[in-house]
Amino acid sequence: MQGTNDAAPAGGQESRTPYGRPSRPPGHVPVALPDRGLPAEPPAPEPGDRLPRLMDVPRYSMLEATAPVAVAAVLLSGCAAVDSKACTLIGALTGISLDVEPPLAVRVSRASMEACWDGSCRTQEVTLSPTTVAGPSHCSGTGPADTCEARVVRTGGLSGFAELPGLPKRPVQIRVVLNGSDGAPALDRRLVVTPRTVYPNGPDCGEGGPAGGVVAGPGGLRERR
């Protein structure tokens, strides 16, 4: 019967297994290899060990990671809701308005306005219209389906507007001439007016053109405040 190669051969030569691998002689002590930086594998679980369950893993990681982002988003959306302001397309014309009070208005059918600044003057014809206000309102009832209405009432005065492009925001010389239907002058007065900035949508939505106003009455011409 042929012997095996498990015994140590003579002459110090290393024996071989049937598969060509070196066999370990009796008394062989393994030598620890130097650490090459490879991660150590966890020990295999022994029979009867409890494997970690999903509920044993800390569940705060995803919640705590997303919580600061969610809070920041809420804070930013809150600031946007508070700071945002809707601005309409309502504008403001640049020029001087004219109001003619009764009883002077009864004698007036035509008006013109001259405005002077920076050494030059410009004259504008002013179209006058009856001045109206809202009268008392009347409702058909007090229910949600009832309707209310109000009629406009004439005050007996006249009003118009002289559009003056380039009007500055500093004192300008204004001259108002009012004529009757027969061409006779009803008023011819001069006044220094200071146009001011107009904010048709409020200061947060930008300014419109500078504008001012004058009022013609039995006492002469005055600046409208």
What range does the domain containing 168 cover?
Answer: 100-117+126-131+151-223
- Please report whether residue 25 resides in a domain: no
Classify residue 11 as left (phi > 0), alpha (psi -120 to 50) or beta. Answer: left
Helices (H) and strands (E) in the chain, counts: 1, 9
Is 55 inside a domain boundary? no
Confidence bin at 195 (pLDDT 50/70/90): very high
157 assigned to some structural domain: yes
Strand partners, 133: 153
Whether residue 203 lies inside any domain: the answer is yes
| Angstrom distance (rounded) from CA 113 to CA 124 | 5
Q: Which helix (H) or strand (E) holds 191?
A: strand 185-193
Query: Total structural domains in the chain?
Result: 1
Q: Is residue 216 assigned to a domain?
A: yes
Q: Which pairing describes strands 110-117 and 172-179: parallel, antiparallel, or unpaired?
A: antiparallel
Model confidence over 52-96: pLDDT tens digits?
A: 554 444 444 444 444 444 444 444 444 444 445 678 877 789 999
In a domain? residue 200: yes
Model confidence pTM above 0.85: no
In a domain, 202, yes or no: yes
